[in-house]
Chain A
Amino acid sequence: MFLGRVVGEVWATRKAADLSGLRLLVVQAVDERRDPGAKKVTPVVAADPLGADVGEHVIVAFGKAARVATLGADGDYAFEAAIVGIVDDFDVPGAPEEWRMEDVAAWRKARAGGKGNKPR
């Protein structure tokens, strides 16, 4: 599991049948930025049962935990990663500046009444 930031969303028409209806977000781990040598980062794609938005900090789980959190039970499904929590706040003393969260509250307020595309 890791702490990450949602950096994008993915859409696919041709896909495994059990992925239909699942929102897929692109998540970058915050700690990638702690390593100055990490010039390239492969973001994780995670199923999103909670309705996270781009810019939000999230907790991502893998494997069985991801499937249970998304669908309520483990089984044969074509995804390995899922968002299991939307982070309200965190405190990591000494964390680099890049870890900081955006002001999500203000940002959401600004967006309210907009597209309203969050699946809840």
Chain B
Amino acid sequence: MAQGACGREGEQAEMMVGTVIGHVWATKKDPTLSGLRFLVVQPFTLGEATAETIVAVDPLGAGIGERVLVVFGRAARHMIGRGQDIGFQAAVSAIIDKMELEGGRTVGPTAEEDSKARS
């Protein structure tokens, strides 16, 4: 995982917005991860949309289509709440209500609501 800069192609930001596009289940996994809920999240990008996705633990209960704040590293392990010695390093730390971008562009809690606002 990239340390430092924003996410370019092939890199990841350490704290970023993304859209929940699915769930993942795994029976066989690191014992420190049992009982956790895993989401597939597509990072929010400026410019072209990205096809990249990441997997994040979700302690807050976000649904598909919702925009979330994803954190990595110590913040993520803190969100998971099982101490710092666990086998995962990405987690949802907030569910986004609204994002205001320069140029007056407003992004809502889901991609669907963006298009509603535009029309």
**A residues apposed to B, CB below 8 Å:** 1-2, 4, 7-16, 19, 24, 26-29, 31-32, 35, 37-46, 54-55, 62-64, 76-81
Across the interface, do B93 and A78 meet the contact criterion of CB distance under 8 Å? yes
Across the interface, do A40 and B9 meet the contact criterion of CB distance under 8 Å? yes
25 pairs of residues in contact across A and B, judged by CB atoms under 8 Å: A2-B4, A2-B6, A7-B102, A10-B94, A12-B97, A15-B94, A19-B93, A28-B6, A31-B5, A40-B46, A40-B48, A40-B50, A41-B8, A41-B47, A42-B6, A42-B12, A42-B13, A43-B13, A43-B44, A62-B3, A62-B15, A76-B78, A80-B14, A80-B71, A80-B72
Across the interface, do B94 and A16 meet the contact criterion of CB distance under 8 Å? yes
Whole-angstrom CA separation of A77 from B72 in the bound complex: 11
A75 to B, closest residue via Cβ: B78
Say yes or no: A78-B78 contact (C-beta < 8 A), given A28-B6, A29-B6, A45-B16.
yes
Say yes or no: A12-B95 contact (C-beta < 8 A), given A40-B48, A41-B47, A42-B7.
yes
Across the interface, do B60 and A14 meet the contact criterion of CB distance under 8 Å? yes
CB of B24 closer than 8 Å to a CB of A: no
CB of B86 closer than 8 Å to a CB of A: no
Across the interface, do B79 and A16 meet the contact criterion of CB distance under 8 Å? yes
A82 to B, closest residue via Cβ: B15
CB of B75 closer than 8 Å to a CB of A: yes
